[in-house]
Amino acid sequence: MGRSHEGGLSFRNYGEYAYNYDPATKTYLPNNPGTTDFGGNYDPHYPSWDLDISDAARYKEWEKEFKQFEENGNLPQFEVVYLPNDHTGGSKWGPQQMVAQNDYALGKLTETVSNSKYWKNTAIFVVEDDAQGGVDHVDAHRSVALAISPYTQIGKVDSTFYDTPAILRTMELIMGLKPMTQFESAAIPMFNSFTAKPNFKPYSIEQSKYWPEEGDATPAAAANSTLYPKDMDFSKPDSVDRERLNKENWKKIKGSYPKVKNEGKQQK
């Protein structure tokens, strides 16, 4: 965000590094006021870190501003949208519901943008936070990355070796910004993910059995979910014991077989 500001681009932040909730004003404030380079370019009503607020509710707040920007013709050139509930945790839902609501919110955001006048010149990049440290057999350094645009409808998975600097470098090239570090300067841009023949067909979301409703209501499917132990601390990002959370998620999704032996390993 700082580099986009330096480059003279308009930007808007939704929830990233704005974790301080003020009960008096019911708004979210930057972590380090005066040092975090947001200026007034963030939505103080957008819920930041609180896993008991659904990502579907976050989408609704983002959508409210997006519709205003579209009506006024002044959509910021760069936006950061924080959808944290893939972390799993909190006191209201199990892991299936939390991942499903995250998928739902991202799908609704994509659907909204793709049905807007801005779709023809917009790209949405999606990465996971804290993807490492799972109990899957696949190396957790491998993670999901999505590039969503009329110019990325190539009909296949791009298996080129990319890393986070590659994604940032691609975004910088699109926005005409210089690399922030030598890592981005040397990164491979995501050229293979793009095509010169755009497909402007809008995206249509598919409903999930785990999260069939909008807003912050608890769907009926969540009532049968096993919730997390009350002594687990989800009050701040990364405050819960990671290995314990992995095991809780595994039990809730996979049951007792195969059993988790160590983080990143399994035993039968």
Q: For 194-251, what is each residue's pLDDT tens digit?
A: 999 999 999 999 888 888 765 555 554 444 456 788 888 888 888 888 888 888 888 8
**Most confident option among 3-12, 87-96, 257-266:** 87-96
Regarding whether 136 and 25 lie in a shared domain, the answer is yes
Regarding whether 138 and 62 lie in a shared domain, the answer is yes
**Last residue within a domain, chosen from 163, 185, 202:** 202
Domain membership flag for residue 94 = yes
Q: What is the pLDDT of residue 264?
A: 47
Range of the domain at 244: 231-268
**Last residue within a domain, chosen from 182, 202, 222:** 202
Regarding whether 240 and 180 lie in a shared domain, the answer is no
> Is 262's pLDDT higher than 60?
no
Q: What is the pLDDT of residue 265?
A: 47
Q: What is the pLDDT of residue 208?
A: 83
On whether the pTM is more than 0.75, the answer is yes
Regarding whether 60 and 142 lie in a shared domain, the answer is yes
Cα pseudo-dihedral 39, 25, 31, 98, rounded to 10? -110
Q: What is the pLDDT of residue 123?
A: 98
Task: Specify the pairing of strand 11-14 against strand 78-81.
Answer: parallel
In the chain, how many domains are there?
Answer: 2
Regarding whether 104 and 61 lie in a shared domain, the answer is yes
Q: What is the pLDDT of residue 44?
A: 93
Domain membership flag for residue 215 = no
CB 91 within 8 A of CB 228: yes
Regarding whether 152 and 80 lie in a shared domain, the answer is yes
Instruction: Give CA angle at 45 (241, 109), nearest 5°.
Output: 80
Quick: pLDDT tens for 25-38: 989 888 775 555 67
